[in-house]
Amino acid sequence: MYKLIDGKAHAAAMRREIACGVAEYRRKYGRDIGLAVVFVGDNSASKVYVRNKIKACEEAGVKSFAYYLPATATQSEVEELVKSLAVDKSVDGILVQLPLPAGLNADAVLSLIPVEKDVDGFSESNIGSLCMNKPCLVACTPNGVMRMLRREGIEIKGKRAVVIGRSNIVGKPMAMLLLNADATVTVCHSRTQNLKEICLSADIVVAAIGRAKFITADMIKEGAVVVDVGMNRDEDGKLCGDVDFANVKDKCSYITPVPGGVGPMTITMLLYNTLAAAERSVGL
Ligand code: NAP
């Protein structure tokens, strides 16, 4: 019998802890913790994400500063805004909502976020520190996965982990986190051969592909832990993951659902990183 990893419950518990940390910080240092969110254009899915992030900040007692720029904003207008936030003492974390409208250079904008305010953990410096297993701000989604695995008491050390997907924001940092936790890690991608055999060898499978129900039951070993990062629409337009949940679940020891698995942890880890950035700024 599998155990469902309830991301909503883990996220709620963690958000309560974070809210306590935020209140404690305000008491001790007499100032609010601030997160600046920069949103350019009118991508409707991104708008929903930004709204959810701002709401989560309010609930945790983090002050949010939202900047909405039109799709016509120039590279230098976006860069000037980020530069001003970089030196703003009331801002502990800066998040630039991606993707930026076509024609804007996202890398150039992101490179202006100081490493200590990079609460998305996307900067080369934070990724480099993660690879060297040094303290840093870690990308929210993979860090949320690690938190859930730990909170469930799932053993990682010595296990064989397979990460499917090698994006800079999910797959690669996920693999690094598992490696840092002493798993033996294989990273797969669209050119991987024998994907099924590799997956079948895994004690822990993390799917971060972006293809609905791609991971099927014949790819999963009995008793494996399966984490589904994917967020897709199925043929009926319903939200679903990269894992064929209905058929895979009975082979697993643990599995995350979609929705209600990894998703709720992502914004939680953004709050966590913002608190961590504020604490680091006062030497904690
Ligand atoms: P991405 O940048 O598109 O990366 C997808 C990865 O999957 C790539 O490395 C790609 O390989 C690999 N891939 C594609 N087809 C494959 C195949 N047939 N076999 C093996 N590997 C294959 O996507 P992402 O940003 O990492 O996101 C992945 C999924 O997670 C998406 O569904 C996204 O919506 C979801 N997501 C969820 C959250 C959350 O909070 N729950 C956060 C972020 C992302 P190549 O490198 O060879 O192209």
**Residue pair 38/73 in contact by the 8 Å Cβ criterion:** no
Return the ligand 1 atom nearest residue 191 CA.
47
User: Residue 147: pLDDT above 90?
Assistant: yes
Domains within the chain, CATH numbers bracketed? 30-115 (3.40.50.10860), 140-263 (3.40.50.720)
193 is catalytic: no
- Kindly report the average pLDDT of the chain as a whole number: 97
Reported as a pLDDT band with limits 50, 70 and 90, residue 283 is confident
Q: Is 165 in the pocket of ligand 1 (CB under 6 A)?
A: yes
Q: Which residues pair with 207 in a beta bridge?
A: 164, 228
**Average of pLDDT values for 210-221?**
98
Quote the CA–CA distance of 22 and 26 in Å, as a whole number: 6
In order, the DSSP letters of 75-101 are HHHHHHHHHHHHT-TT-SEEEEPSSPP
Quote the CA–CA distance of 124 and 146 in Å, as a whole number: 21
The per-residue pLDDT for 149 is 98
pTM for the whole structure = 0.96
User: Residue 87: pLDDT above 80?
Assistant: yes
Residue 67: Cβ within 10 Å count: 17
Q: Which pair of structure tokens corresponds to residue 86? A: 């970089």
Question: Which one is catalytic: 120, 228, 242, 244?
Answer: 120
Q: Is 257 in the pocket of ligand 1 (CB under 6 A)?
A: no
DSSP-derived secondary structure letter, 219: G
Q: Which pair of structure tokens corresponds to residue 87? A: 């030196």
How far, in Å, from the CA of 246 to the mean position of ligand 1? 21
Q: What is the pLDDT of residues 47-86, one digit of tens each?
A: 999 999 999 999 999 999 999 999 999 999 999 999 999 9
How far, in Å, from the CA of 24 to the mean position of ligand 1? 38
Q: What is the pLDDT of residues 35-48, one digit of tens each?
A: 999 999 999 888 99
User: Residue 284: pLDDT above 80?
Assistant: no
The per-residue pLDDT for 174 is 98
Q: Is 3 in the pocket of ligand 1 (CB under 6 A)?
A: no
The per-residue pLDDT for 123 is 93
3-class DSSP state for residue 253? strand
**Of 3-7, 18-22, 47-51, 223-227, which range is least confident?**
47-51
120 is catalytic: yes
The per-residue pLDDT for 229 is 98
**Average of pLDDT values for 147-162?**
98
How far, in Å, from the CA of 108 to the mean position of ligand 1? 23
53 is catalytic: yes
Q: What is the pLDDT of residues 119-135, one digit of tens each?
A: 999 999 999 999 999 99
**Residue pair 258/241 in contact by the 8 Å Cβ criterion:** yes
How far, in Å, from the CA of 280 to the mean position of ligand 1? 32
Q: Is 21 in the pocket of ligand 1 (CB under 6 A)?
A: no
Higher-pLDDT residue of 6 and 49 is 6
Quote the CA–CA distance of 64 and 186 in Å, as a whole number: 38
Percentage of the chain beyond pLDDT 90 is 96
DSSP-derived secondary structure letter, 117: G
Does residue 264 have a cis bond before it (omega within 30 degrees)? no
Q: With CA atoms as reference, report the closest residue to 5 among 204, 238, 257, 184.
A: 257
**Average of pLDDT values for 187-211?**
98
